[in-house]
A and B are shown apart, each in its own frame.
Chain A
Amino acid sequence: MFVPHTDAEREEMLKAIGVERIEDLFTDVPEDYRFPYLGLPGGLTEMEIMAELQEIAAANSSTREMACFLGAGAYNHYIPAAVDAIIRRGEFLTAYTPYQPEVSQGTLQAIFEYQSMIAALTGMEVSNASHYDGATAAAEAVVMAYHHFRGKRGKVVLSPGVHPQYRAVIRTYMQGYAGFQIAGDHEPGCDPLSGPETLLPMIDANTSLVLVQYPDFFGRLYDYTALAQAAHEAGALLAVAVNPLSLGLLKPPGEFGADIVVGEGQSLGIPLSFGGPYLGLFATRKEYVRRLAGRLVGETVDNAGRRAYVLTLTAREQHIRREKATSNICTNQGLIALTATVYMSLLGKHGLRQVAELCYHKAHYAAEKINAIPGFSVCMDRPFFHEFVVCCPMPASRLNDRLIDHGIIGGYDLQQDYPALENRMLIAVTEMNTRDEIDHLAEALSEVSHA
């Protein structure tokens, strides 16, 4: 399909190599296993595959057809047209990791600008070039803290308000680490909705890292200054997982005293795309830069003294340090980091604040409307950003099934991850939800719960 050779060229090339047939090039492959039958359908033309894909895609219901109130770590936002126009340019799209700086200044400068904006947004000094997603960035923070204390502090204090999937990925990553233990999110009788103050007594001399989320998984906002102080007094580090869009409005974790900020960057202009590819954010203080995993771009000059950019501190990385590297990460999320860079540039200081405020005001309007429905109540005693917990008169999943018929994708059923949170739904509201949609949701909730 994408092989350009003509028969005549093939013959000429085989002759130059000195073999008769292409098959002669594969004699090192054990004969019994050579050229296996592959049970795959016959190849399709572009026209045929696009028709087939359109049919497959049509079997999904998209947020373009439905009103979406589902978040829980992935959010439906408006993406300005200029974002896709830039990231589709072949010079960005089809380049490799910028190992050869002389022909990669475009990618390198874009990553440098990404690092700068993420540092500004989070209130940190250094950002890497990206991680796979919020969950893996959180896991790398745990790995980094473990190595920072040379494995001598085996405990991580994990808030139950950290995304359940991030906590699951941390457990997966750490299963081979001797003496590693997690406190905080699974204690018997632990109230999933408890605040950061319940973590304080768990922080001790064996703690390497305290990890919280901001806004937390339930949408709530806490000032983590006291928690940072407690962590630092015990000699531990504080990591905060963020939704970067909210930081257009909110005080950044750097001001709380966070040592590491991780997060899911999907809200920065990246389509929902059924869960990926997204963008892992990882920022920290300069003193920890040599423990940082992943790529870093630094400013320098070329041989004529012109400003130029290059991958730097590569001695941390797997292709140099092999088994002593800070992480095995190689390919990360280059193009998605570029997407976020273009999005952040377009919105800028004022646009990001404006969109964050829209989310905030609309979510508070929705919370008030839903709280007024008989049988429903918003169970939030804290300030929240654009997501909130609703106590429902029946299981959230049952409500959601019925909301579909009203053209609504309902909120997240919290009982899936927190058995104690029966009949609780996590509702997300963004700038994409109009007042009419919110009113329609409130009416539909009232109707389906009484049906």
Chain B
Amino acid sequence: MPEPTIYELSVEGRMGVRFPEPDVPRAPLPDGLVREHFHFPQVSEVDVVRHFTHLSTLNYGIDSGMYPLGSCTMKYNPKVNEEAARLPGFAFVHPLQPIDTVQGSLLLMYQLQEMLKEIGGFEGVSLQPAAGAHGELTGVLIIRAYHCSRGDTRRTRIIIPDSAHGTNPATSAMAGFEVVNVRTDSRGNVDLEALRALCDDRLAGLMLTNPNTLGLFDQNILDVVDAVHEAGGLVYGDGANMNALLGIARPGDLGIDVMHFNLHKTFSTPHGGGGPGSGPVGVSGALVDFLPGPIVKIVEEGGEDLPPLYGLVMPEHSIGRVKSFFGHFGMMVRAFTYIAMNGAEGLRSVAEHAVLNANYLLARIKDVYHLPYPRTCMHEFVVEGQWKDAPDVHALDISKRLMDYNFHPPTNYFPLIVHEALMIEPTETENKETLDRFADALLKIAQEAHEDPSLLKSAPHHTPVGRVDEVKAARDLVLCCWTPDQA
């Protein structure tokens, strides 16, 4: 049964919440500025609760089962994070309160800045960016500001590997750069020769995801970084895959100049059905003055019994604000909680087991699913979702059929350099039994693909709706519950 929309549930005169009558005299309402038409739902509280509860049951989340969506790091989101962010001292504080009434928030942000510096090997961190792509924009604007500050205005190009997330080229264009692609070599690394040929005095920087979207650690990482630096460019690290590197390697040590973290991937803050994320940016010493601000600093050292005074400071050559206030504080509380619970050893264990799980899963299926770049993977891997002897079955069909086995599908058709890509990231929080069940399902589906492909073509069969008509959605463009004549 499809759930009616909130507008369909509406009955004139119904209300879900009542507020007290005013305890002050009523003021005359502003002439000519009061609205006359308002097409809005009218429902009771129980209607609302049942409506959204029913909607929630049509969803699949990490709490429902394994969610091996490659490049998204769908690890378990600890429930304690939610308690932490809702502590009244965090949840009900206004961002513009006098500084001495928000010392708790500032201390937490300061400590998180320090933690991320240590984990990433950076000299400075800004917590302001709202999500990964927002961190990318911040980082690329920092690269631009750095070159401009040196009077080096000819650097108009950003190099991006052909395996990169779509956000990388979109970000570079948004910051006013020309995008130049560099290919991936047969081992799955950046093609060094091709890269070197592109490194000239027009180069502003390289945007690099490492491990890359094939789940492979670039074996020439130091040479790649050197080639860019020798040409006067900077290296941007896309931190989307940082879950593989916690306590394994620090991007700053490898020569990455600027990188965003995804608190909602690596540090367990929930994805919320599409955000909010949080994309703090870490930078090397040469770039700290360009960070967006304000950032938290100790403005007065503490004494023996006196805590230090934290304050908000704008870096000297800051690119400016990228967001109102100070970033997604609620997400910072969750990530701080996660990092503090893990400690250094726990974080290394996270990365080790993320990589162990991926390689184990790969070992279980690689005789059946073709692995185009046959190497030890990091936290994820990409296989082909098609067979020569079952050509009608596509990666999408395999993904949809997995839903019938009660798994969320992997990422499909990305990265673009793999034919019929299935990008699988199990994360460290899945146990061996779950990985085995998932591997069994993939093997069973491969068998079905050969014996009864229609089972895959018509999948999923056990979900709230079947395959949806995307073409109709784009053609008819119904983006709203009501039509203008109803308003």
Contacts of B400 in A (CB 8 A): 102
Query: What sequence of 0s and 1s flags, for each residue 354-383 of chain B, a beta carbon within 8 Å of any chain A beta carbon?
Result: 011101100110000000000110000000
CA distance A358 to B357 in the complex (A): 56
Query: Are the CB atoms of A57 and B90 closer together than 8 Å?
Result: yes
A100→B403 contact, CB < 8 A: yes
Contact B273 A335 (CB under 8 A): yes
Most chain B CB within 10 A, of A5, A59, A223, A273, is at A273
Q: Which residues of B contact A91 (CB under 8 A)?
A: 56-57, 59-61, 63-64
Q: How far is the CA of A168 from the CA of B272 in the complex (A)?
A: 28
User: Is the beta-carbon distance between B273 and A62 smaller than 8 angstroms?
Assistant: no
Q: Is B35 a contact partner of A109 (Cβ separation < 8 A)? A: no
Q: Could you tell me how many residues of chain A have their Cβ less than 8 Å away from some Cβ of chain B?
A: 204
Known pairs A95-B271, A113-B481, A276-B327; A105 contacts B104 (CB<8 A) = no
Which of A43, A172, A273, A276 meets B321, CB within 8 Å? Answer: A172
Q: Is the CB of A28 within 8 A of B217?
A: yes
CA distance A119 to B31 in the complex (A): 24
Given A30-B222, A102-B467: A16 and B337 interface contact (C-beta under 8 Å): no
A325 in contact (CB, < 8 A): yes
Contact residues in B for A310 (Cβ distance below 8 Å): 468-470, 473
Q: How far is the CA of A64 from the CA of B94 in the complex (A)?
A: 11
Contact B30 A110 (CB under 8 A): no
* Complex interface bits, A29-63 against B, C-beta within 8 A gives 1, otherwise 0: 11001111111111111100110111011111111
CB of A198 closer than 8 Å to a CB of B: no
A105 near B58: Cβ-Cβ < 8 Å: yes
Q: Which of B30, B32, B97, B470 is packed against the most chain A CB atoms within 10 Å?
A: B97
Contact indicator B91/A90 (Cβ below 8 Å)? no
The yes or no answer to B284 lying at the interface (CB within 8 A) is no
CB closest chain-A residue, reference B62: A94
B320: A residues at CB distance < 8 A: 168-169, 171-172, 175
Which residues 85-107 of B sit at the A interface, judged by CB distance below 8 A?
85-98, 100-105, 107
Q: Is the CB of B467 within 8 A of A43?
A: no
User: What is the CA–CA distance of A94 and B482 in the complex, to the nearest angstrom?
Assistant: 29
Task: Write out the residue numbers on chain A whose beta carbons fall within 8 Å of the beta carbon of B76.
Answer: 2
> Once bound together, how far apart are the Cα atoms of A199 and B269, in whole Å?
44
Q: With a CB–CB cut-off of 8 A, which chain B residues contact A335?
A: 270, 272-276
In Å, the complex CA distance between A84 and B92 comes to 14
CA distance A362 to B107 in the complex (A): 35
B272 nearest CB neighbor, chain A only: A335
Per-residue interface assignment for chain B, residues 123 to 147, with 1 indicating a CB less than 8 Å from any chain A CB and 0 otherwise: 0000000111110110001001100
| Contact yes or no, B247 A38, CB < 8 A | yes
* Interface residues as binary, B313-329 with A (CB distance below 8 Å gives 1, 0 otherwise): 00000011111111111
Q: Is the CB of A175 within 8 A of B359?
A: no
Check if B91 sits within 8 Å of A272, measured CB to CB.
Answer: yes
Q: Which residue of A lies closest to B156 (CB)?
A: A176
Q: Which residue of A lies closest to B61 (CB)?
A: A94
Quick check: A274 and B325 within 8 Å, CB to CB? yes
**Residues of chain A from 292 to 329 with CB closer than 8 A to chain B in the complex:** 295-304, 306-310, 312-313, 317-325, 327-329
Complex Cα gap A322–B347 (Å): 33
B49 near A: Cβ within 8 Å? yes
Which residues of chain B from 227 to 265 have a CB within 8 Å of any chain A CB?
Answer: 247-250, 253-254, 264
- The answer to whether B35 and A249 have CB atoms under 8 Å apart is yes
Q: Encode contact with B along A122-137: 1 for CB under 8 Å, 0 otherwise.
A: 0001110110111110
Measured between C-beta atoms, what is the minimum distance from B186 to chain A in Å? 15
Question: Is A338 an interface residue, CB under 8 A from the partner?
Answer: yes
Contact B273 A338 (CB under 8 A): yes
Which chain B residues (63-117) contact chain A, with CB distance < 8 Å? 63-64, 67, 69, 72, 74-78, 80, 82-98, 100-105, 107-108, 115
Contact B30 A4 (CB under 8 A): no
Docked complex Cα distance between A103 and B408 (Å): 8
Q: A331 contacts B321, CB within 8 Å?
A: no
User: For the complex, is A13 an interface residue (Cβ under 8 Å from B)?
Assistant: yes
Given the interface pairs A271-B92, A349-B40, the reply to whether A103 lies near B403 with Cβ below 8 Å is yes
Cβ A44 vs Cβ B343 within 8 A: yes
- B88-A57 in contact (CB<8A): yes
Asked if A379 is at the interface of the complex by the 8 Å CB criterion, the answer is: no
Q: Which A residues touch B326, using CB under 8 A? A: 274-276
Tell me whether A16 and B363 are in contact (CB under 8 A). Answer: yes
Q: Is A424 an interface residue (CB 8 A)?
A: no
Q: How far is the CA of A353 from the CA of B104 in the complex (A)?
A: 36
Interchain CB contact (< 8 A) of B55 among A27, A106, A163: A106
Question: 1/0 per position for B157-178, CB-CB distance to A under 8 A?
Answer: 0000000011101111111110
Which residues of chain A come closer than 8 Å to B327, judged between CB atoms? 275-276
Closest A residue to B47 using CB positions? A345
A177 contacts B487, C-beta separation under 8 Å? no
- B61 touching A80 by the CB < 8 A rule? no
**Which chain A residues numbered 9 to 30 have a C-beta less than 8 Å away from chain B?**
9-10, 12-14, 16-18, 22, 25-30
Distance A82 CA – B258 CA, assembled complex (angstroms): 42
How far is B1's CA from A315's CA once the two chains are assembled, in angstroms?
A: 31
**A91, A96, A121, A327, most chain B CB atoms within 10 A:** A96
Kindly list chain B residues whose C-beta atoms are within 8 Å of the C-beta of A105: 55, 58-59, 464-465
A25 touching B325, Cβ below 8 Å: no
For A136, the chain B residues whose CB sits under 8 A away are 130, 134, 322-323
Complex alpha-carbon distance, A82 and B50, angstroms: 11
> Closest residue of chain A to B25, judged by CB?
A365
> How far is the CB of A94 from the nearest CB of chain B, in Å?
4
Contacting A at CB under 8 A, from B437-458, are 458
For B98, the chain A residues whose CB sits under 8 A away are 397, 400-401, 404, 409
Interface-facing stretch out of A70-78, A185-193, A232-240: A70-78
Query: In this assembly, does A116 line the interface, its C-beta being within 8 Å of a C-beta of chain B?
Result: yes
CB of B149 within 8 Å of the partner chain: no
Residue of A nearest to B347 (CB): A38
In the complex, chain A residues 254-297 whose Cβ is within 8 Å of any chain B Cβ:
255, 264, 271-278, 286, 289, 295-297
Q: In chain A, what residue has the closest Cβ to B174?
A: A328
Interface flag for B350 (CB, 8 Å) = yes
Chain A proximity mask over B174-207: 1 for CB below 8 Å, otherwise 0: 1111010000000000000000000000000000
Nearest-neighbour CB distance to chain A for B480, whole angstroms, equals 5
A431 nearest CB across to chain B (Å): 6
A347 to B131, CA, bound (A): 30
Task: Determine if B473 and A74 form an interchain contact, defined as CB atoms under 8 angstroms apart.
Answer: no
Q: Determine how close the nearest CB of chain B comes to the CB of A416; give it in whole angstroms.
A: 9
- Collect the chain A residues with CB atoms within 8 Å of residue B342's CB: 1, 43
Known: A351-B17, A401-B98. A1 touches B346 (CB 8 A): yes
Q: What is the minimal beta-carbon distance from A29 to any residue of chain B, in angstroms?
A: 5
Chain B contacts of A171 at CB under 8 A?
Answer: 320
Q: In the assembled complex, which residues on chain B have CB atoms less than 8 Å from the CB atom of A255? A: 35
* Smallest Cβ-Cβ distance to A362: which chain B residue: B24
Q: Collect the chain B residues with CB atoms within 8 Å of residue A84's CB.
A: 86
Interface pair A80/B118, CB less than 8 Å apart: no
CB pair B341 A272 closer than 8 Å: no
Which A residues touch B150, using CB under 8 A? none
Q: Shortest beta-carbon distance, A206 to chain B, in Å? A: 19
Nearest chain B CB to A31's CB is how many angstroms away? Answer: 10
Q: Is A89 an interface residue (CB 8 A)?
A: yes
Residues in chain A near residue B484, CB distance under 8 A = 125
- Cβ distance A158 to chain B, nearest Cβ, rounded Å: 15
Q: With a CB–CB cut-off of 8 A, which chain A residues contact B31?
A: 383
Tell whether B339 is near chain A: CB-to-CB under 8 Å: yes
**B273 to A169, Cβ gap below 8 A?**
no
Known: A14-B356, A110-B273, A278-B324. 17 other contacts (CB 8 A): A3-B349, A13-B356, A52-B340, A90-B61, A93-B63, A93-B82, A96-B273, A165-B325, A169-B320, A176-B174, A223-B32, A252-B35, A273-B91, A302-B468, A312-B474, A328-B173, A401-B98
A-B contact pairs, 12 of them (CB 8 A): A49-B337, A64-B88, A111-B273, A120-B487, A249-B34, A252-B35, A274-B95, A276-B276, A277-B329, A345-B51, A345-B52, A346-B45
Top-9 shortest CB links A-B? A176-B176, A57-B89, A275-B325, A335-B272, A90-B63, A334-B274, A275-B95, A43-B343, A59-B104
